A = this chain, B = another copy of it.
Amino acid sequence: MKIIDEKVNIDGIDKTILNHLMEDARKPILEIARNLGISGAAIHQRLRKLEKAGLIEGSKLVINPRVLGYTTLAFVGVYLDKAISNPQAVKKLREIPEVLECHYTTGNWSIFLKILCRDNEHLMKVLNMNIQAIEGVSRTETFISLDQQIQRQIKV
């Protein structure tokens, strides 16, 4: 766990830089620099400041899973028998590549998952063969995403 003890003071220039790069992490720094009327070096200085403050975590290439044949996105609420089995369950869940997110949540479920599968048959297999097989998992409730309408990060 990284400790963030740096004060973050973000001005409009920082926001402009971040908003550009949040859309396209490989957008040329000099292009942003020309838009802002400052030098490329100034942008780099600000980026280093924002990294040091812990605001910038990194960058990711975003792929379209449909092209790889992954078309079924689902959310799964997991009921666990006993609280003590949670960390072991998460460890097992981490070994299932279809599990993209895993949250401890308030409410009915102990654990809440986002999983991505090739199709419904694959989803059923992952649920029955992989997730239900984990010790402590008593029951699951599955919600299939028929269509995702919004996908974004928080506005800076």
In the complex, what's the smallest C-beta–C-beta distance from A110 to chain B, in angstroms?
10
The complex places the Cα of A15 from the Cα of B85 at a distance, in Å, of 35
Complex copy number for this chain: 2
Partner of A145, one of B54, B57, B62, B112: B112
Residue pair B154, A116 in contact (C-beta under 8 Å):
yes
Residue pair A63, B70 in contact (C-beta under 8 Å):
no
Residue pair B144, A105 in contact (C-beta under 8 Å):
yes
The complex places the Cα of A12 from the Cα of B79 at a distance, in Å, of 38
The complex places the Cα of A63 from the Cα of B17 at a distance, in Å, of 12
Residue pair A18, B143 in contact (C-beta under 8 Å):
no
In the complex, what's the smallest C-beta–C-beta distance from A64 to chain B, in angstroms?
5
Q: Can you list, as one digit per residue, whether each of A85-122 has a CB less than 8 Å from chain B (1) or not (0)?
A: 00000100110011111111111010010001000000
Residues of A within 8 A of B (CB): 4, 8, 10, 18, 21-26, 53-68, 70, 73, 75, 90, 93-94, 97-107, 109, 112, 116, 141-156
In the bound complex, residues from chain B placing their C-beta under 8 Å from that of A106 are 143-144, 146
Residue pair A68, B94 in contact (C-beta under 8 Å):
no
In the bound complex, residues from chain B placing their C-beta under 8 Å from that of A142 are 107
16 A-B residue pairings within 8 Å (CB atoms): A54-B64, A55-B63, A56-B63, A59-B59, A59-B60, A65-B154, A68-B156, A75-B112, A90-B150, A100-B151, A101-B152, A102-B150, A104-B145, A104-B147, A105-B144, A112-B143
In the bound complex, residues from chain B placing their C-beta under 8 Å from that of A57 are 62-64
Partner of A26, one of B59, B66, B104: B59
